[in-house]
Structure 1
Amino acid sequence: MDTKPQILVVDDKPEIAKVIKIQMSLEYDVIYFSRPIEALSWLHSGHIPQLIISDVYMPEMNGFEFLQSLKNSSMFTSIPVIVLSSLENSGERIKLLEIGADDFILKPFNPQELKIRVRNILRKR
């Protein structure tokens, strides 16, 4: 039996993860953490998802720091990352893309659009 590709969702709001899981669960195995530190621990324990969806504004470690940690690690640098945030400042969005985000989607988001963007990124890999 084929296993579904894994998507890691990191967002401090469980309702966002629930929407993503509902939209994606037929095609993807969605793993969720509300804290970036927990997500990094999970990654360092040997789990390598096909894609990560991350918020920016989270307690303890923000999305900039989380993304920087991923892109500074040779183990995780090739994992595509979609940033999902209400961040409307163009300069900060550009900074996230420069750090290594593969895409940026503004909240509130259309779940179908997110699903298509995920599919397109994974198809190119």
Structure 2
Amino acid sequence: MKKQVLLVDDKSTIAKVISVYLGKDYDFIYFENPIKAIEWLHEGNFPDLIISDIRMPEMMGDEFLHYMKNNELFKNIPIVMLSSENSTSERIRLLEEGAEDYILKPFNPMELKIRIKKIID
């Protein structure tokens, strides 16, 4: 059975790129909105890994990360943060809060694939 990857990003173009590179190896679920993703998780869905953007409307990626890591049900799901923000302090803060990895946009899809494989395989 394929492992499941959840992407939360308000840009559908990112979802298209990631689904092309990950679609053969992983079941790929996508939400533009972290609140919708949380609703989906509360329906009993437990992906093997979550990729989350940081800058999103309604709920920021760091708030989503904080929610996930402070929730008993979901705290063990690895989360990879995607951001165009090349800030060392932000990267360190999110890694300290529990992000498994922090990848800068624009990213190399093959690098993302390798990093995900190392985390969940």
Q: TM-score, normalised by structure 1?
A: 0.95
Aligned partners of 1:24 and 1:35: how far apart in 2?
20
Say which SS state the counterpart of residue 96 (structure 2) adopts.
helix
Taking the TM superposition and a 5 Å limit, the aligned residue runs for 1:56-95 are 56-95=54-93
Q: CA-to-partner distance for each residue in 1:78-110, whole Å, 9 max, x for gaps?
A: 100111110111111111111100001100000
Q: Note the residue ranges of structure 1 that are not aligned, 5 or more in a row.
A: none
Q: RMSD between aligned alpha carbons?
A: 0.6
Runs of 4+ in 1 over 2 A off after TM superposition: none
Partner amino acid for 2:48?
A: Q
Q: Note the residue ranges of structure 2 that are not aligned, 5 or more in a row.
A: none
Aligned partners of 1:30 and 1:116: how far apart in 2?
16
Taking the TM superposition and a 5 Å limit, the aligned residue runs for 1:1-125 are 3-123=1-121
Aligned partners of 1:42 and 1:15: how far apart in 2?
21
Q: TM-score, normalised by structure 2?
A: 0.98
Partner amino acid for 2:12?
A: P
Q: CA-to-partner distance for each residue in 1:12-49, whole Å, 9 max, x for gaps?
A: 00000110000001110000000000000000110000
**How many residues align structurally?**
121
